[in-house]
Amino acid sequence: VRATEDAEQKLAMLMQYREDYVLRFQVKLSAGVSASGYRNFQQFLDKLDEAIKGQQRVVQDATRRVGNERTAWQGCERKRMSYDILAERTLKVQQLKESRRDQKQTDEFAARQLLYKR
């Protein structure tokens, strides 16, 4: 998640920088720009666009990785919960058996006591 947030922040920064660069160039353009100045602007803008595309891929990859990790974690969590339920059921069965055994012993003891009192 942190990597995705960092990548998104970097993408936003690049896009903001591009917007600022275009605005600054428009101001220069109104004052007059040479052909080489315009060519330099266009080349730099192309490089910025490539950097933005690359950063968009980084964001997509990070988002995909987070989704994959979340899915894997959810699978592990479901498995853990299944084990917890099985352990709980086993404990209940064991407690029921112990309770029945204790009740049987109590009943047998009471029956013997009743026999001895007669």
pLDDT, tens digit (0-9, with 9 covering 90-100), for 74-89? 999 999 999 999 999 9
CA atoms within 13 A on the CB side of 20: 6
Look at residue 34 and give its three-state secondary structure.
coil
Tell me the pLDDT tens digit for each residue of 2-50. 989 999 999 999 999 999 999 999 988 888 889 999 999 999 999 999 9
User: 3 lies in which domain range?
Assistant: 1-116
**Any idea which residue has 């979340």 for tokens?**
70
State the residue for tokens 């917007």. 19
Instruction: Specify the pLDDT at position 30.
Output: 87
pLDDT at 114: 85
- Tell me: pLDDT of 95 over 90: yes
For the chain, the domain total comes to 1
